Amino acid sequence: MIWIDTIIQGILLGGLYALFAAGLSLVFGIMRLVNLAHGDLIVLGAFLILVLVTALGLNPFLATLVAIPLMFALGWGLQLVILNRTLGDDILPPLLVTFGLSIVIQNGLLEGFSADSQRISAGALETASIPLGPVTVGVMPLLTFLSALAVIVALNQLFYRTSLGRAFRATSDDPVTAGLMGIEPNRIFAVATGIAFVVVTIAALYLGTRANFDPTIGPARLIYAFEAVIIGGLGSLWGTLAGGIIIGVAQTVGAAINPEWQILAGHVAFLVVLAVRPRGLFPKGL
Amino acid sequence: MPILSLSDVSKSFGALQVARAISFDLEKGEALGIIGPNGAGKSTLFNLITGNLQVDAGRIHFEGRDITRVPAEKRCLMGFGRSFQIPQPFEKLTVFENLVVAGAFGSNLPENQVTGLCAEILVECGLIDRANDPAGSLTLLQRKRLELARSLATSPKVLLLDEIAGGLTEAECHALVETIRAIHARGVSIIWIEHVLHALNSVVSRLLVLDFGKVIGLGEPGEIMASREVREIYLGIEI
Protein backbone atom coordinates (compact mmCIF):
# COMPACT_ATOMS: atom_id res chain seq x y z
CA MET A 1 0.00 0.00 0.00
CA ILE A 2 2.79 2.39 0.89
CA TRP A 3 4.31 1.69 -2.53
CA ILE A 4 1.12 2.51 -4.39
CA ASP A 5 0.96 5.73 -2.42
CA THR A 6 4.60 6.53 -3.22
CA ILE A 7 4.10 5.94 -6.93
CA ILE A 8 0.92 8.02 -7.07
CA GLN A 9 2.68 10.89 -5.29
CA GLY A 10 5.49 10.52 -7.83
CA ILE A 11 3.08 10.68 -10.76
CA LEU A 12 1.46 13.81 -9.34
CA LEU A 13 4.91 15.37 -8.81
CA GLY A 14 5.64 14.48 -12.43
CA GLY A 15 2.80 16.81 -13.40
CA LEU A 16 4.73 19.71 -11.87
CA TYR A 17 7.88 18.78 -13.77
CA ALA A 18 5.88 18.44 -16.97
CA LEU A 19 4.58 21.98 -16.41
CA PHE A 20 8.16 23.18 -15.93
CA ALA A 21 9.13 21.43 -19.15
CA ALA A 22 6.19 22.18 -21.47
CA GLY A 23 7.18 25.80 -22.12
CA LEU A 24 10.78 24.80 -22.76
CA SER A 25 9.66 22.06 -25.13
CA LEU A 26 7.35 24.45 -26.99
CA VAL A 27 10.03 27.07 -27.65
CA PHE A 28 12.65 24.50 -28.58
CA GLY A 29 10.25 22.65 -30.86
CA ILE A 30 9.21 25.70 -32.84
CA MET A 31 12.38 27.76 -33.10
CA ARG A 32 15.21 25.45 -31.95
CA LEU A 33 15.94 27.91 -29.16
CA VAL A 34 17.25 26.50 -25.90
CA ASN A 35 16.11 28.92 -23.25
CA LEU A 36 18.56 28.71 -20.34
CA ALA A 37 16.55 31.36 -18.48
CA HIS A 38 13.44 29.15 -18.43
CA GLY A 39 13.81 28.18 -14.74
CA ASP A 40 14.40 31.80 -13.75
CA LEU A 41 11.35 32.87 -15.73
CA ILE A 42 9.25 30.41 -13.69
CA VAL A 43 10.65 31.99 -10.50
CA LEU A 44 9.95 35.46 -11.95
CA GLY A 45 6.37 34.33 -12.58
CA ALA A 46 6.10 33.10 -9.00
CA PHE A 47 7.25 36.48 -7.66
CA LEU A 48 4.77 38.25 -9.93
CA ILE A 49 1.95 36.09 -8.54
CA LEU A 50 3.23 36.70 -5.00
CA VAL A 51 3.16 40.49 -5.56
CA LEU A 52 -0.38 40.30 -6.93
CA VAL A 53 -1.47 38.17 -3.97
CA THR A 54 0.09 40.42 -1.31
CA ALA A 55 -0.51 43.82 -2.93
CA LEU A 56 -4.05 43.26 -4.21
CA GLY A 57 -5.10 40.60 -1.73
CA LEU A 58 -6.08 38.29 -4.58
CA ASN A 59 -6.53 34.56 -4.31
CA PRO A 60 -3.46 32.87 -5.94
CA PHE A 61 -5.56 31.35 -8.74
CA LEU A 62 -7.11 34.73 -9.55
CA ALA A 63 -3.66 36.34 -9.31
CA THR A 64 -2.41 33.79 -11.87
CA LEU A 65 -5.20 34.77 -14.25
CA VAL A 66 -4.07 38.39 -13.89
CA ALA A 67 -0.41 37.42 -14.33
CA ILE A 68 -1.00 35.38 -17.50
CA PRO A 69 -1.62 38.30 -19.90
CA LEU A 70 1.27 40.23 -18.35
CA MET A 71 3.62 37.29 -18.81
CA PHE A 72 2.32 36.69 -22.35
CA ALA A 73 3.15 40.30 -23.22
CA LEU A 74 6.59 39.95 -21.63
CA GLY A 75 7.36 36.79 -23.62
CA TRP A 76 6.04 38.30 -26.83
CA GLY A 77 8.15 41.43 -26.37
CA LEU A 78 11.25 39.53 -25.30
CA GLN A 79 11.12 37.38 -28.43
CA LEU A 80 10.43 40.28 -30.77
CA VAL A 81 13.02 42.66 -29.33
CA ILE A 82 15.82 40.36 -28.19
CA LEU A 83 15.56 36.64 -28.91
CA ASN A 84 14.65 36.87 -32.62
CA ARG A 85 17.99 38.60 -33.19
CA THR A 86 19.85 35.60 -31.79
CA LEU A 87 18.24 32.97 -34.05
CA GLY A 88 20.18 31.64 -36.99
CA ASP A 89 22.41 28.81 -38.09
CA ASP A 90 24.66 29.27 -35.05
CA ILE A 91 23.22 27.80 -31.83
CA LEU A 92 25.61 29.71 -29.55
CA PRO A 93 24.03 33.21 -29.55
CA PRO A 94 20.65 32.09 -28.09
CA LEU A 95 22.48 30.08 -25.40
CA LEU A 96 24.65 33.06 -24.43
CA VAL A 97 21.81 35.56 -24.48
CA THR A 98 19.43 33.41 -22.43
CA PHE A 99 22.25 32.60 -20.00
CA GLY A 100 22.78 36.34 -19.58
CA LEU A 101 19.05 36.80 -19.17
CA SER A 102 19.10 34.18 -16.42
CA ILE A 103 21.74 36.19 -14.51
CA VAL A 104 19.83 39.43 -15.04
CA ILE A 105 16.57 37.94 -13.74
CA GLN A 106 18.20 36.33 -10.68
CA ASN A 107 20.00 39.51 -9.69
CA GLY A 108 17.02 41.71 -10.45
CA LEU A 109 14.88 39.53 -8.16
CA LEU A 110 17.58 39.53 -5.45
CA GLU A 111 17.67 43.32 -5.63
CA GLY A 112 13.90 43.61 -5.48
CA PHE A 113 12.94 40.84 -3.08
CA SER A 114 16.18 39.97 -1.19
CA ALA A 115 17.40 36.38 -0.83
CA ASP A 116 14.68 35.47 1.69
CA SER A 117 12.66 32.49 0.75
CA GLN A 118 9.04 33.19 -0.03
CA ARG A 119 5.85 31.24 -0.38
CA ILE A 120 2.49 31.84 -2.04
CA SER A 121 -0.21 30.83 0.43
CA ALA A 122 -3.10 28.86 -1.02
CA GLY A 123 -4.94 28.84 2.31
CA ALA A 124 -6.88 25.76 3.33
CA LEU A 125 -6.27 24.14 -0.07
CA GLU A 126 -2.66 23.56 0.91
CA THR A 127 -3.56 20.87 3.39
CA ALA A 128 -6.79 19.63 1.82
CA SER A 129 -6.84 16.06 0.60
CA ILE A 130 -9.32 13.65 -0.92
CA PRO A 131 -9.48 9.86 -0.74
CA LEU A 132 -8.79 8.22 -4.06
CA GLY A 133 -9.30 4.47 -3.87
CA PRO A 134 -6.78 2.97 -1.47
CA VAL A 135 -4.77 6.17 -1.04
CA THR A 136 -5.34 9.77 -0.04
CA VAL A 137 -4.02 12.47 -2.33
CA GLY A 138 -3.48 16.18 -1.68
CA VAL A 139 -5.77 18.54 -3.56
CA MET A 140 -2.89 20.80 -4.68
CA PRO A 141 -0.76 17.97 -6.17
CA LEU A 142 -3.89 16.68 -7.92
CA LEU A 143 -4.66 20.15 -9.29
CA THR A 144 -1.04 20.43 -10.45
CA PHE A 145 -1.28 17.19 -12.36
CA LEU A 146 -4.67 18.03 -13.88
CA SER A 147 -3.32 21.43 -14.92
CA ALA A 148 -0.37 19.74 -16.62
CA LEU A 149 -2.79 17.45 -18.48
CA ALA A 150 -4.96 20.43 -19.47
CA VAL A 151 -1.94 22.42 -20.70
CA ILE A 152 -0.69 19.52 -22.82
CA VAL A 153 -4.14 18.79 -24.29
CA ALA A 154 -4.60 22.51 -25.03
CA LEU A 155 -1.18 22.83 -26.68
CA ASN A 156 -1.82 19.72 -28.80
CA GLN A 157 -5.18 21.11 -29.89
CA LEU A 158 -3.49 24.39 -30.73
CA PHE A 159 -0.80 22.68 -32.81
CA TYR A 160 -2.98 20.30 -34.77
CA ARG A 161 -6.37 22.01 -34.96
CA THR A 162 -5.77 25.70 -35.50
CA SER A 163 -4.42 27.99 -38.16
CA LEU A 164 -1.85 29.37 -35.73
CA GLY A 165 -0.70 25.84 -34.89
CA ARG A 166 -0.21 24.97 -38.55
CA ALA A 167 1.80 28.16 -38.93
CA PHE A 168 3.91 27.08 -35.93
CA ARG A 169 4.57 23.70 -37.50
CA ALA A 170 5.24 25.15 -40.96
CA THR A 171 7.66 27.73 -39.56
CA SER A 172 9.36 25.09 -37.44
CA ASP A 173 9.80 23.02 -40.60
CA ASP A 174 11.19 25.77 -42.84
CA PRO A 175 11.04 29.48 -41.89
CA VAL A 176 12.19 30.73 -45.31
CA THR A 177 9.53 28.83 -47.24
CA ALA A 178 6.94 29.81 -44.62
CA GLY A 179 7.82 33.44 -45.39
CA LEU A 180 6.97 32.82 -49.05
CA MET A 181 3.54 31.60 -47.94
CA GLY A 182 2.87 34.94 -46.28
CA ILE A 183 3.86 33.86 -42.75
CA GLU A 184 6.12 36.25 -40.83
CA PRO A 185 8.38 33.90 -38.85
CA ASN A 186 9.42 36.60 -36.35
CA ARG A 187 5.81 37.31 -35.39
CA ILE A 188 5.00 33.60 -35.21
CA PHE A 189 8.01 33.10 -32.89
CA ALA A 190 6.87 36.01 -30.71
CA VAL A 191 3.40 34.49 -30.27
CA ALA A 192 4.98 31.08 -29.52
CA THR A 193 7.17 32.55 -26.77
CA GLY A 194 4.15 34.42 -25.42
CA ILE A 195 2.28 31.12 -25.17
CA ALA A 196 5.32 29.47 -23.54
CA PHE A 197 5.23 32.26 -20.93
CA VAL A 198 1.58 31.48 -20.23
CA VAL A 199 2.63 27.91 -19.44
CA VAL A 200 5.52 29.30 -17.36
CA THR A 201 3.02 31.32 -15.30
CA ILE A 202 0.86 28.25 -14.63
CA ALA A 203 4.03 26.36 -13.59
CA ALA A 204 4.96 29.32 -11.36
CA LEU A 205 1.66 29.11 -9.48
CA TYR A 206 2.28 25.50 -8.51
CA LEU A 207 5.99 26.07 -7.85
CA GLY A 208 5.15 28.92 -5.48
CA THR A 209 2.31 27.19 -3.62
CA ARG A 210 4.01 23.83 -3.32
CA ALA A 211 7.22 24.88 -1.58
CA ASN A 212 9.39 27.83 -0.67
CA PHE A 213 11.19 29.65 -3.44
CA ASP A 214 13.87 32.31 -3.62
CA PRO A 215 15.47 34.17 -6.55
CA THR A 216 18.21 31.60 -7.09
CA ILE A 217 16.31 28.32 -7.42
CA GLY A 218 15.52 28.71 -11.14
CA PRO A 219 18.45 26.72 -12.57
CA ALA A 220 17.56 23.65 -10.46
CA ARG A 221 14.01 23.72 -11.95
CA LEU A 222 15.58 24.10 -15.39
CA ILE A 223 17.46 20.81 -14.92
CA TYR A 224 14.23 18.90 -14.19
CA ALA A 225 12.59 20.55 -17.18
CA PHE A 226 15.48 19.60 -19.48
CA GLU A 227 15.47 16.05 -18.21
CA ALA A 228 11.73 15.68 -18.72
CA VAL A 229 11.97 17.01 -22.29
CA ILE A 230 14.89 14.75 -23.18
CA ILE A 231 13.40 11.62 -21.57
CA GLY A 232 10.16 12.22 -23.47
CA GLY A 233 11.87 12.88 -26.79
CA LEU A 234 12.28 16.29 -28.37
CA GLY A 235 9.12 17.72 -29.84
CA SER A 236 6.60 15.41 -28.20
CA LEU A 237 4.44 17.07 -25.54
CA TRP A 238 2.95 13.80 -24.31
CA GLY A 239 6.52 12.51 -24.12
CA THR A 240 7.37 15.50 -21.96
CA LEU A 241 4.57 14.54 -19.56
CA ALA A 242 5.88 10.98 -19.50
CA GLY A 243 9.38 12.33 -18.84
CA GLY A 244 8.11 14.44 -15.96
CA ILE A 245 6.32 11.44 -14.48
CA ILE A 246 9.42 9.24 -14.76
CA ILE A 247 11.51 11.81 -12.86
CA GLY A 248 8.73 12.35 -10.32
CA VAL A 249 8.28 8.63 -9.61
CA ALA A 250 12.04 8.05 -9.46
CA GLN A 251 12.35 10.86 -6.93
CA THR A 252 9.56 9.71 -4.62
CA VAL A 253 10.65 6.08 -4.81
CA GLY A 254 14.23 7.17 -4.12
CA ALA A 255 13.07 9.25 -1.18
CA ALA A 256 11.00 6.34 0.19
CA ILE A 257 14.09 4.17 0.26
CA ASN A 258 16.28 6.86 1.74
CA PRO A 259 15.46 10.58 1.88
CA GLU A 260 19.00 11.45 0.75
CA TRP A 261 18.41 9.65 -2.53
CA GLN A 262 15.47 11.73 -3.74
CA ILE A 263 17.26 14.11 -6.11
CA LEU A 264 19.89 11.58 -7.09
CA ALA A 265 17.28 8.96 -8.05
CA GLY A 266 15.66 11.42 -10.49
CA HIS A 267 18.98 12.14 -12.20
CA VAL A 268 19.89 8.43 -12.31
CA ALA A 269 16.57 7.65 -14.01
CA PHE A 270 17.40 10.34 -16.56
CA LEU A 271 20.87 8.90 -17.20
CA VAL A 272 19.44 5.40 -17.62
CA VAL A 273 16.96 6.59 -20.26
CA LEU A 274 19.71 8.56 -21.99
CA ALA A 275 21.90 5.45 -22.11
CA VAL A 276 19.15 3.11 -23.32
CA ARG A 277 17.17 5.46 -25.60
CA PRO A 278 19.40 8.44 -26.48
CA ARG A 279 16.65 10.04 -28.58
CA GLY A 280 14.11 9.78 -25.78
CA LEU A 281 11.07 7.56 -25.38
CA PHE A 282 8.77 9.19 -27.96
CA PRO A 283 10.97 11.10 -30.40
CA LYS A 284 9.23 12.97 -33.18
CA GLY A 285 9.19 16.31 -34.84
CA LEU A 286 6.69 18.86 -33.65
CA MET B 1 0.98 48.62 -67.68
CA PRO B 2 3.09 45.51 -67.11
CA ILE B 3 2.22 43.50 -63.98
CA LEU B 4 5.92 43.05 -63.11
CA SER B 5 8.75 45.25 -64.22
CA LEU B 6 12.47 44.95 -63.43
CA SER B 7 14.79 47.80 -64.28
CA ASP B 8 18.57 47.46 -64.05
CA VAL B 9 18.41 44.92 -61.22
CA SER B 10 21.88 43.92 -60.01
CA LYS B 11 23.17 41.62 -57.31
CA SER B 12 26.62 40.44 -56.27
CA PHE B 13 27.87 37.85 -53.80
CA GLY B 14 31.30 39.26 -53.02
CA ALA B 15 33.16 39.54 -56.29
CA LEU B 16 30.67 37.30 -58.10
CA GLN B 17 28.07 39.28 -60.01
CA VAL B 18 24.97 37.09 -60.24
CA ALA B 19 22.62 39.68 -61.73
CA ARG B 20 23.90 42.41 -64.05
CA ALA B 21 21.49 45.23 -64.82
CA ILE B 22 18.59 42.89 -65.63
CA SER B 23 15.59 44.64 -67.12
CA PHE B 24 12.38 43.15 -68.48
CA ASP B 25 8.62 43.58 -68.28
CA LEU B 26 6.04 40.86 -67.73
CA GLU B 27 2.64 41.71 -69.15
CA LYS B 28 -0.51 40.75 -67.29
CA GLY B 29 -1.53 37.22 -68.31
CA GLU B 30 1.76 36.61 -70.10
CA ALA B 31 3.87 33.46 -69.77
CA LEU B 32 7.59 34.14 -69.95
CA GLY B 33 10.24 31.43 -70.08
CA ILE B 34 13.75 31.84 -68.69
CA ILE B 35 16.59 29.69 -69.98
CA GLY B 36 20.32 29.75 -69.47
CA PRO B 37 23.21 27.52 -68.50
CA ASN B 38 23.65 26.30 -64.93
CA GLY B 39 24.91 29.08 -62.69
CA ALA B 40 23.54 31.78 -64.99
CA GLY B 41 21.64 33.34 -62.08
CA LYS B 42 18.14 32.11 -62.91
CA SER B 43 17.13 30.98 -59.41
CA THR B 44 18.84 34.05 -57.93
CA LEU B 45 16.65 36.21 -60.17
CA PHE B 46 13.60 34.48 -58.62
CA ASN B 47 14.96 35.12 -55.13
CA LEU B 48 15.28 38.81 -56.01
CA ILE B 49 11.73 38.92 -57.37
CA THR B 50 10.21 37.15 -54.33
CA GLY B 51 12.28 39.21 -51.87
CA ASN B 52 14.32 36.35 -50.38
CA LEU B 53 17.34 38.31 -51.54
CA GLN B 54 17.64 42.09 -51.59
CA VAL B 55 18.83 43.76 -54.79
CA ASP B 56 22.06 45.77 -54.68
CA ALA B 57 20.84 48.18 -57.34
CA GLY B 58 17.85 48.67 -59.64
CA ARG B 59 14.11 48.72 -59.01
CA ILE B 60 11.31 46.14 -59.07
CA HIS B 61 7.75 47.31 -59.74
CA PHE B 62 4.62 45.20 -59.25
CA GLU B 63 1.34 46.55 -60.66
CA GLY B 64 3.00 49.96 -60.89
CA ARG B 65 4.13 49.95 -57.26
CA ASP B 66 7.79 49.99 -56.26
CA ILE B 67 8.34 46.80 -54.21
CA THR B 68 12.15 46.86 -54.18
CA ARG B 69 12.28 47.02 -50.38
CA VAL B 70 9.10 45.08 -49.55
CA PRO B 71 9.86 41.89 -47.50
CA ALA B 72 9.13 38.40 -48.87
CA GLU B 73 6.01 37.67 -46.79
CA LYS B 74 4.38 40.96 -47.89
CA ARG B 75 5.19 40.21 -51.52
CA CYS B 76 3.46 36.86 -51.13
CA LEU B 77 0.34 38.67 -49.92
CA MET B 78 0.57 41.05 -52.90
CA GLY B 79 0.32 38.07 -55.27
CA PHE B 80 3.60 36.25 -55.82
CA GLY B 81 3.61 32.47 -55.76
CA ARG B 82 6.78 30.47 -56.12
CA SER B 83 7.71 26.84 -56.57
CA PHE B 84 11.23 25.73 -55.70
CA GLN B 85 13.57 23.83 -57.97
CA ILE B 86 14.25 21.43 -55.10
CA PRO B 87 10.78 20.87 -53.58
CA GLN B 88 10.56 22.26 -50.04
CA PRO B 89 7.29 20.93 -48.61
CA PHE B 90 6.57 21.28 -44.91
CA GLU B 91 7.35 17.60 -44.47
CA LYS B 92 5.62 17.01 -41.16
CA LEU B 93 2.38 18.66 -42.21
CA THR B 94 -0.10 16.74 -44.34
CA VAL B 95 -0.42 17.63 -48.02
CA PHE B 96 -3.72 19.36 -47.30
CA GLU B 97 -2.25 21.29 -44.36
CA ASN B 98 0.60 22.48 -46.59
CA LEU B 99 -2.01 24.10 -48.81
CA VAL B 100 -4.17 25.40 -45.97
CA VAL B 101 -1.22 27.17 -44.36
CA ALA B 102 -0.29 28.73 -47.69
CA GLY B 103 -3.92 29.62 -48.43
CA ALA B 104 -4.72 31.14 -45.05
CA PHE B 105 -1.53 33.13 -44.53
CA GLY B 106 -0.84 33.81 -48.21
CA SER B 107 -4.15 35.55 -48.74
CA ASN B 108 -4.88 36.68 -45.18
CA LEU B 109 -8.13 34.70 -44.90
CA PRO B 110 -9.42 32.48 -42.08
CA GLU B 111 -8.78 28.78 -42.69
CA ASN B 112 -12.42 27.83 -43.20
CA GLN B 113 -12.61 30.19 -46.20
CA VAL B 114 -9.69 28.58 -47.99
CA THR B 115 -10.32 24.86 -47.47
CA GLY B 116 -12.64 24.64 -50.50
CA LEU B 117 -10.12 26.33 -52.75
CA CYS B 118 -7.35 24.10 -51.40
CA ALA B 119 -9.35 20.96 -52.15
CA GLU B 120 -10.04 22.19 -55.72
CA ILE B 121 -6.34 22.85 -56.25
CA LEU B 122 -5.47 19.37 -54.98
CA VAL B 123 -7.91 17.89 -57.50
CA GLU B 124 -6.48 20.02 -60.29
CA CYS B 125 -2.91 19.05 -59.39
CA GLY B 126 -3.79 15.36 -59.02
CA LEU B 127 -2.91 15.13 -55.34
CA ILE B 128 -6.34 14.76 -53.77
CA ASP B 129 -5.86 11.07 -52.91
CA ARG B 130 -2.70 11.95 -50.94
CA ALA B 131 -4.35 14.89 -49.13
CA ASN B 132 -4.03 13.43 -45.63
CA ASP B 133 -0.57 11.91 -45.97
CA PRO B 134 2.46 13.69 -44.53
CA ALA B 135 4.14 15.70 -47.28
CA GLY B 136 7.44 14.01 -46.41
CA SER B 137 6.08 10.71 -47.80
CA LEU B 138 5.50 12.00 -51.35
CA THR B 139 7.40 10.87 -54.47
CA LEU B 140 9.39 13.37 -56.56
CA LEU B 141 6.55 13.99 -59.05
CA GLN B 142 4.09 14.45 -56.20
CA ARG B 143 6.47 16.85 -54.45
CA LYS B 144 6.77 18.90 -57.62
CA ARG B 145 3.00 18.94 -57.90
CA LEU B 146 2.75 19.95 -54.24
CA GLU B 147 5.14 22.85 -54.91
CA LEU B 148 2.82 23.98 -57.68
CA ALA B 149 -0.34 23.37 -55.61
CA ARG B 150 0.98 25.22 -52.58
CA SER B 151 2.02 28.24 -54.60
CA LEU B 152 -1.44 28.26 -56.22
CA ALA B 153 -3.10 28.19 -52.79
CA THR B 154 -1.75 31.68 -52.08
CA SER B 155 -3.92 32.88 -55.03
CA PRO B 156 -0.97 34.32 -56.93
CA LYS B 157 -1.21 36.86 -59.73
CA VAL B 158 2.32 35.99 -60.77
CA LEU B 159 3.49 32.39 -60.56
CA LEU B 160 7.24 31.71 -60.52
CA LEU B 161 8.06 28.12 -61.49
CA ASP B 162 11.62 26.94 -60.98
CA GLU B 163 12.51 23.85 -63.09
CA ILE B 164 9.28 22.15 -62.19
CA ALA B 165 9.53 19.67 -65.11
CA GLY B 166 13.10 18.60 -64.41
CA GLY B 167 13.59 14.94 -63.54
CA LEU B 168 10.11 13.84 -64.65
CA THR B 169 9.31 11.15 -67.20
CA GLU B 170 7.85 12.15 -70.54
CA ALA B 171 4.29 11.25 -69.51
CA GLU B 172 4.57 12.97 -66.14
CA CYS B 173 5.99 16.06 -67.80
CA HIS B 174 3.14 16.12 -70.32
CA ALA B 175 0.52 15.93 -67.56
CA LEU B 176 2.24 18.72 -65.62
CA VAL B 177 2.36 20.94 -68.71
CA GLU B 178 -1.38 20.45 -69.17
CA THR B 179 -1.96 21.59 -65.56
CA ILE B 180 0.24 24.67 -66.06
CA ARG B 181 -1.54 25.54 -69.31
CA ALA B 182 -4.87 25.38 -67.50
CA ILE B 183 -3.56 27.70 -64.77
CA HIS B 184 -2.24 30.12 -67.39
CA ALA B 185 -5.57 30.03 -69.20
CA ARG B 186 -7.24 31.35 -66.02
CA GLY B 187 -5.21 34.54 -66.39
CA VAL B 188 -2.31 33.88 -64.00
CA SER B 189 0.93 35.44 -65.24
CA ILE B 190 3.79 32.96 -65.26
CA ILE B 191 7.58 33.13 -65.26
CA TRP B 192 9.02 29.70 -65.79
CA ILE B 193 12.68 28.65 -65.53
CA GLU B 194 13.13 25.38 -67.36
CA HIS B 195 15.68 23.23 -69.12
CA VAL B 196 13.02 20.98 -70.67
CA LEU B 197 12.56 23.22 -73.71
CA HIS B 198 9.67 21.48 -75.46
CA ALA B 199 7.64 21.70 -72.24
CA LEU B 200 8.54 25.34 -71.82
CA ASN B 201 7.88 26.32 -75.43
CA SER B 202 4.43 24.76 -75.39
CA VAL B 203 3.37 27.29 -72.73
CA VAL B 204 5.41 30.50 -72.98
CA SER B 205 5.12 33.18 -75.63
CA ARG B 206 8.50 34.80 -74.94
CA LEU B 207 11.90 33.52 -73.85
CA LEU B 208 14.52 35.34 -71.85
CA VAL B 209 18.09 34.01 -71.98
CA LEU B 210 20.44 34.59 -69.04
CA ASP B 211 24.17 34.01 -69.02
CA PHE B 212 26.53 35.10 -66.24
CA GLY B 213 23.74 37.18 -64.72
CA LYS B 214 23.15 39.10 -67.94
CA VAL B 215 20.18 39.11 -70.31
CA ILE B 216 21.56 38.04 -73.69
CA GLY B 217 18.28 37.51 -75.49
CA LEU B 218 14.59 38.26 -75.10
CA GLY B 219 11.92 37.52 -77.68
CA GLU B 220 9.82 34.94 -79.51
CA PRO B 221 10.94 31.40 -78.64
CA GLY B 222 11.59 30.47 -82.31
CA GLU B 223 13.63 33.58 -82.92
CA ILE B 224 15.62 33.13 -79.68
CA MET B 225 16.40 29.49 -80.30
CA ALA B 226 17.57 30.37 -83.81
CA SER B 227 19.96 33.09 -82.69
CA ARG B 228 23.65 32.28 -83.00
CA GLU B 229 24.64 33.65 -79.58
CA VAL B 230 22.06 31.57 -77.76
CA ARG B 231 22.96 28.41 -79.62
CA GLU B 232 26.61 28.87 -78.76
CA ILE B 233 26.19 29.74 -75.11
CA TYR B 234 23.16 27.75 -74.15
CA LEU B 235 23.15 24.75 -76.41
CA GLY B 236 26.94 24.57 -76.58
CA ILE B 237 26.91 24.20 -80.37
CA GLU B 238 29.93 25.48 -82.21
CA ILE B 239 28.86 27.25 -85.33
Distance, in Å, from the CA atom of B50 to the CA atom of B28, rounded to the nearest integer, reads 17
Crossing angle of helices A237-257 and A2-31, in 10° steps, is 140
Distance, in Å, from the CA atom of B51 to the CA atom of B82, rounded to the nearest integer, reads 11
DSSP characters for B81-148?
A: EEE-SS----TTSBHHHHHHHHHHHHTT--GGGTHHHHHHHHHHTT-GGGTTSBGGG--HHHHHHHHH
Residues of B with CB under 8 A from a CB of A: 50, 52, 71-73, 76-77, 80, 82, 84, 88, 90-93, 97-98, 100-102, 104-108, 110-111, 150, 154
* Residues in chain A, pLDDT under 70: 1, 284-286
> Model pTM?
0.84
Which residues of A are less than 8 Å from B80 in CB distance? 180
pLDDT one-digit tens code per residue, B85-129: 888 899 989 999 999 999 999 888 888 889 999 999 999 888 999
What band does B225 get if pLDDT is binned at 50, 70 and 90? Answer: confident
DSSP characters for B205-223?
A: SEEEEEETTEEEEEE-HHH
Give the nearest partner residue to B76 out of A170, A180, A286, using CB atoms.
A180
pLDDT one-digit tens code per residue, A66-121: 999 999 999 999 999 999 999 988 889 999 999 999 999 999 999 999 999 999 98
Distance, in Å, from the CA atom of A38 to the CA atom of A221, rounded to the nearest integer, reads 8
CATH architecture of B1-79+156-239: 3-Layer(aba) Sandwich (3.40)
Under 8 Å between Cβ of B23 and B6: yes
User: ipTM score here?
Assistant: 0.73
Buried b (16+ CB within 10 A) or exposed e, B3-17: bbbbeebbbeeeeeb
Q: Which residues pair with B22 in a beta bridge?
A: B9
Q: Is the dihedral of CA A253, A258, A259, A265 positive or negative?
A: negative
Distance, in Å, from the CA atom of B159 to the CA atom of B157, rounded to the nearest integer, reads 7
Q: Which amino acid is at A132?
A: L
For chain B, give every domain's residue range.
1-79+156-239, 88-155
